[in-house]
Amino acid sequence: MECRFIKCHGSGNDFPLVDGRMLSLSDADWGQLARALGDRAGPVGGDGLLVLTAGDEQAAFGMRMFNSDGSEAETCLNGLRCVARAGFEALGIDHAVVRLKTSRATVAAAAPLATSVYTIEETAGPATLDLADWPLAGAGARLIDAPLASLSPAQRFTAVAMPNPHLVGFVDRIDEEELVRIGQLCEAAPAWLPNRANVSFVEVRDPVTLFVRTFERGVGLTDSCGSAMAASTYAACLTGRIGYDRDVTVLNRGGLVRARAAADAMVTLYGNATWEWEGEVIVDLAQARAGDLRVLRHHDAEIAAWAQVADAAR
């Protein structure tokens, strides 16, 4: 099949984005397309695949997100901003309710984070703490700033669903090897965590600044994960490390977002939705392989504008 897409990113979390409103693909085919386009060794590459889908009575449009391994995630907040931009441009609107896999979110065009950086405000939640929904065995009904013996006898975690599952550990200094080790344990889908989970280590740099590093379910170690930044912000408030209803900066390897968690467990992020380039590619769905690529347009000004933000964040 021939597939047209936009290569985009939210806070360095990069994806091909496809307008799927007129496409009739099975779930299995969408998974194959995600494997083909997300393959870092292929002509496109990305942390997964974003799909703009049709709306319904309550939502102007919808979003589906498939990880690079072909699995479908409940949400992706960095990706949601990109899909929101595509939906706004397609429908000529600047705010909307968006249908996600298991929930809904509100999105709106916002004042730029920096000059020439297209910015979206998104509110998602409520974050939930009930482990029966994951499921996560052996940790009780909730896990809040406590050890999880299956992963580490020393590291304390807070388990938050946003609505995808996140294990958030606060550390003085991020040990990337340990993060990968724990992430891979969760990625293996052990009997006590059959649906896997995202794992983040978080440094509290000051009362209004967090740094988040994430091993993302279905992706691996990633420069940025929007729902992880939202879950980490809520977990920091829940455990008293930062205050509710306070604007904080959340840094990551890909740049930053602004975040605010409310006591009702709703989390708002302000972040970029940056177009990098647009293209068409021939995809063999049976083999999950992308072949001939034609680049249609580069967005050099947007790339340069975000590079300045990312450099400052680092």
* Cβ-contact 155, 165 below 8 angstroms: no
Q: Who's near 23: CB < 8 A, 6+ residues apart?
A: none
Catalytic residue among 8, 82, 186, 225: 225
The three-state secondary structure class of 9 is strand
- Please confirm, yes or no, whether 82 is among the known catalytic residues: no
Least Cα distance to 270 among 161, 85, 109, 86 occurs for: 109
167: buried, middle or exposed (CB in 10 Å: 19+, 13-18, 0-12)? buried
- Please confirm, yes or no, whether 225 is among the known catalytic residues: yes
Sign of the torsion angle spanned by Cα atoms 284, 164, 166, 65: positive
Tokens representing 297? Answer: 């347009």
Q: How far apart are CA 308 and CA 314, in angstroms?
A: 10
* DSSP states of 11-66: TTEEEEEEE-TT----HHHHHHHHHHHH-TTSSS--SEEEEEEE--SS-SEEEEEE
Give CA separation, 99 vs 65, 168, 220, in Å.
Answer: 12, 26, 26
Q: Which residue has the tokens 């013996």?
A: 149
Catalytic residue among 3, 76, 186, 237: 76
Annotated catalytic sites, by residue?
Answer: 76, 225
